[in-house]
Amino acid sequence: MTASKRPYFLAGGLVLVCGCLLLGVIFGPGLGRMLATSAAPKPDFDATLQALISAPTGSAVASAPTLVPGSAVASTPTLVPRSAVASTPTAVPASGQPSGHIVLTCQIYKYQSSNQICIMNADGSGYRRLTTEDGVQHFYPSLSTDGRSVVYSQYREDNVYEIYEMSLTDGVAKRLTDKLGVLNSPEISADGKSIVFMRWTPASDQYQVWLMDRDGNHPRRAISGTAWDPTWSPDGTQILFASDRTGSNQLSVVNADGTGLHQISDLPAIRGRSDWSSQDLVATYSGEPWQHDIYVMNADGSNPHKVAPPGGNSQGPSFSPDGTWIAFTAYFDMPHDDNGCEIYIMRTDGSDLRRLTNNDYCDYQPRWGP
């Protein structure tokens, strides 16, 4: 995200009325409220929040709906993407294949105000929709470390987005928060006891990193200052996040108890959505609109280098549980197409690029889990 004193969220990441040519360009909270009724689907992972603070009038949200994964939705066509389509043909190794599941934001109605949560296997098969309220915004999903549930943000009312946790066993979704403000980027800690997330309110007009217990109790601010897009270290003792506290958008790390704050990155135009692998590597994305690239670095910020093939406007990386693959959104096959964002995977060195989704709408904000 670019910012002067505060991060700006893309008109369009997870909002945008100015078109995908502005992807990654960020606007302040006031403009974000006006953009909430945008019909165009131009997501950016770090840029989705503010344009979604207000959803279109008439969006009704049940406090704790019962949602059944994979259930038929009459108004939704069967979602069957092309599985593991390689944009660049490569020899497929006999071992070390991707495993687990990837949750994502699926813009099946081509309106951000109707975004849904979908899930698929790590090879692109088994793609299905999890959330079922057609006219309600859902975004920023992530899987629990045991793979049994997904947490995500859901619109409730103007200036209120709640965090829900859905069981993948029975499809029941439980609301964990109650009118704390605009909340997104929830992620469960390795021990399963805590959730880190981002909070914004009109009163604070500041993006903040917060923590709460797994059941939603004891919500509290994790650190002072502006911060957004948090993610846990593999062992759950530290939090990685983006911030403009030093004047430019960079990545910082803090201990879960709020101590030991330090900046680790020094890259131009960092957007925010990042991940921390079991191999102690950090992945993020950086670059100007339509020129985003995935970067990988050591957890201390050393050796930052581009890994995604050029020209994809690649964004929002997420490591596989074993740390050997990266899922991300890119436009390799449909550049500059508002609905051209698809989910791709590659090895952490940028090789073996594969496209997992193939829809006429945008799939984005992938998060990999068991």
In a domain, 264, yes or no: yes
CATH classification at residue 174: 2.120.10.30
Are residues 296 and 304 in contact, defined by beta-carbon separation less than 8 angstroms?
yes
Q: What is the pLDDT of residues 72-87, one digit of tens each?
A: 332 333 333 333 333 3
Nearest to 42 by CA among 249, 336, 271: 336
In a domain, 199, yes or no: yes
Are residues 200 and 182 in contact, defined by beta-carbon separation less than 8 angstroms?
yes
| 186 three-state secondary structure | strand
For the chain, how many residues are written?
370
In a domain, 206, yes or no: yes
- Tokens 């909270």, residue located: 29
pTM of the model as a whole: 0.79
Are residues 76 and 129 in contact, defined by beta-carbon separation less than 8 angstroms?
yes
Amino acid 239 reads I
In a domain, 37, yes or no: no
The CA distance from 155 to 7, in Å, is 21
In a domain, 28, yes or no: no
Give the side-chain half-sphere CA count within 13 A for 157.
Answer: 5
Q: What share of the chain is helix, strand, coil (3-state, %, to 5)?
A: 5, 35, 60
Structural domain of 75: 60-369
In a domain, 16, yes or no: no
The CA distance from 275 to 277, in Å, is 7
Could you give the number of structural domains in the chain? 1
Structure token pair of residue 99: 């495993």
In a domain, 103, yes or no: yes
Per-residue pLDDT of the chain (370 residues; tens, 9 = 90+): 333 333 333 333 333 333 333 333 332 323 232 223 333 334 443 344 334 433 333 333 333 333 333 333 323 333 333 333 333 333 334 458 999 999 999 999 999 999 999 999 999 999 999 999 999 999 999 999 999 999 999 999 999 999 999 999 999 999 999 999 999 999 999 999 999 999 999 999 999 999 999 999 999 999 999 999 999 999 999 999 999 998 899 999 999 999 999 999 999 888 889 999 999 999 999 998 889 999 999 999 999 999 999 999 999 999 999 999 999 999 999 998 989 999 999 999 999 999 999 999 999 999 999 9
In a domain, 101, yes or no: yes
The CA distance from 185 to 180, in Å, is 14
Structure token pair of residue 243: 């911030």
